[in-house]
Amino acid sequence: MQLIGPFIQILPLTDMPIRGPLGERHLRIMEHGGLLVAAGRVVDVGGYQDMKAQYPDAELHFIDTPQVLLPGFIDCHTHICFSGTRSRDYSMRIEGQSYLDIARAGGGIWSSVTQTRAASQEELAALVVQRANRHLQEGVTTIEVKSGYGLNAAQELKMLRAIRDAGVHTKASLVSTCLAAHLVPKDFEGDEKAYLEWIIADLLPQVQQERLSNRVDIFIEQTAFSPAAAMPFLEAAASLGFDLTVHADQFTAGSAQLAVAVHARSADHLEASDDAAIRALGGADTVAVVLPGASLGLGMQYAPARRLLDAGAILAIASDWNPGSAPMGDLLMQAAVLSAAEKLSAAEVLAGLTIRAAHALGLEDRGVLRYGWFADMQSYPCADYRDILYYQGKMKPQHVWKEGILVK
Ligand code: NIG
Ligand code: FE
């Protein structure tokens, strides 16, 4: 057993409502606290001096400078399994071309498919480890990673195997998602319906057989898949036993309601969501995942995070880290900037980066500092939790623990 502390403040983030608006009173800040860890799990959180007396045998990990302790962040939407760059797309956008136009002209996602197909499984795994470790150093202890730059059996399986292999070589937890339905590949003979049917009949059974993922995603958009084709695809994936998530309402409204209708765990993006989408997500168990990094990368409006919360939605914030629309990959910076723009409270932002993001991934063992849950944590070099968003992501954690082990 290890007693870690004292911390000026601990924000265990327990007992927060899972949906809707949050304020400071929901944070239940503990002053001069300590945290007891055994076998990678939280055993107790309380006053440091009391705990020292209560657990005299615990090994002490003494924190000798002012720090604020939080649960590790959970990034519930990334595409960090890719090779190459899309800086050319980025400069074309700055010069006035749109993301969808660049995609139609053969750039966009397809360009990352070509570059990722050319990389070996080992090279891809090494790239995922590198990016996951960068995230871990910035306090992100669990990371969802999608396939979706392979788009045929061999290449999608290569990506998912690379993500699996990477998980062995980083201390961050990786959660993989099959996004073969990212785009109809240029080299597939058939239409979107035929491609989606191929994924269901051929690819997903192989994914299951190798236990590579239990989550399926689809990009519903004008340049990708139509709602009409997506619906039966998602229903079929669910009946195979996959959890669902959807790239919804990024440029065109209408698909968030579809995500709710198929009981997807999350509907992600939502930059173009309208009143009907906000109402639907406000009453649903489907988590509304907003991706400010994609708005920053594409120079477009943020998702209506404030209105989603006010409607009662479960709001999570993720990085969407990918080579095309969100190359930065700095989750805290993006969440802080969104918080200023959308008037989100610290409690709403922190819940969106922890417990509500865990909900999007169906994980009930992390995201708060509570007895029996993973001791995934991070501490910031400040005496007041408000400094963390105030510095807009420039202040990084001083220490990070993954399952009780110090990794920074
Ligand atoms: O979430 N919108 C679709 N997919 C990714 C972008 C992928 C890419 O452009 O490479 C996204 O933004
Ligand atoms: Fe995405």
Which band of pLDDT confidence, cut at 50, 70 and 90, is reported for residue 103? confident
Choose which residue among 80, 99, 219 to substitute to test ligand 1 binding: the one with the highest number of ligand atoms within 8 A of its C-beta. Answer: 219
6: preceding bond cis by omega (within 30 degrees)? yes
**Nearest Cα residue to atom 12 of ligand 1:** 325
- For residue 399 the two structure tokens come to 């220490």
pLDDT digit string, tens, across residues 108-148: 999 999 999 999 999 999 999 999 999 999 999 999 999 99
**Full DSSP string of 73-119:** EEE--------S--HHHHHHHHTT--HHHHHHTT-THHHHHHHHHTS
Per domain, the residue ranges of the chain are 2-72+367-406, 73-361
- The per-residue pLDDT for 100 is 82
- CATH class of segment(s) 73-361: alpha beta
Range 225-244 average pLDDT? 98
pLDDT digit string, tens, across residues 178-214: 999 999 999 999 999 999 999 999 999 999 999 999 9
Which band of pLDDT confidence, cut at 50, 70 and 90, is reported for residue 101? confident
Which band of pLDDT confidence, cut at 50, 70 and 90, is reported for residue 160? very high
Please list, in sequence order, all residues whose beta carbon lies within 8 angstroms of the beta carbon of residue 308, skipping any fewer than 6 positions away: 270, 273, 278, 281, 282, 288, 290, 315
- The per-residue pLDDT for 354 is 98
Is the pLDDT assigned to residue 239 strictly greater than 80?
yes
pLDDT digit string, tens, across residues 249-278: 999 999 999 999 999 999 999 999 999 999
Cα separation, 213 vs 211, in Å, equals: 6
- CB 312, CB 282: distance < 8 Å: yes
CA of 19: how far to CAs of 257, 287, 314, 319, 377, in Å? 18, 9, 4, 20, 23
Is the pLDDT assigned to residue 106 strictly greater than 80?
no
Query: Which chain residues have CB less than 5 Å from ligand 2, an ion?
Result: 320
Is the pLDDT assigned to residue 388 strictly greater than 80?
yes
Which band of pLDDT confidence, cut at 50, 70 and 90, is reported for residue 105? confident
pLDDT digit string, tens, across residues 64-79: 999 999 999 999 999 9
- For residue 130 the two structure tokens come to 């590198």
| 21 C-alpha to ligand 2 centroid (Å) | 25
Choose which residue among 99, 179, 322 to substitute to test ligand 1 binding: the one with the highest number of ligand atoms within 8 A of its C-beta. Answer: 322
Give the global pTM: 0.98
DSSP 3-state of 69? strand
Name every protein residue with a CB atom under 6 angstroms from any ligand 1 atom: 79, 108-109, 112, 219, 247, 250, 294, 320, 322-325
Q: Which CATH number fits domain 2-72+367-406: 2.30.40.10, 3.20.20.70, 2.60.40.10, 1.20.1560.10?
A: 2.30.40.10
Which atom, in ligand 1's list, is nearest to the CA of 219?
A: 3
pLDDT digit string, tens, across residues 312-333: 999 999 999 999 999 999 999 9
Is the pLDDT assigned to residue 107 strictly greater than 90?
no
Nearest to 344 by CA among 306, 314, 382: 306
| 99 C-alpha to ligand 1 centroid (Å) | 10
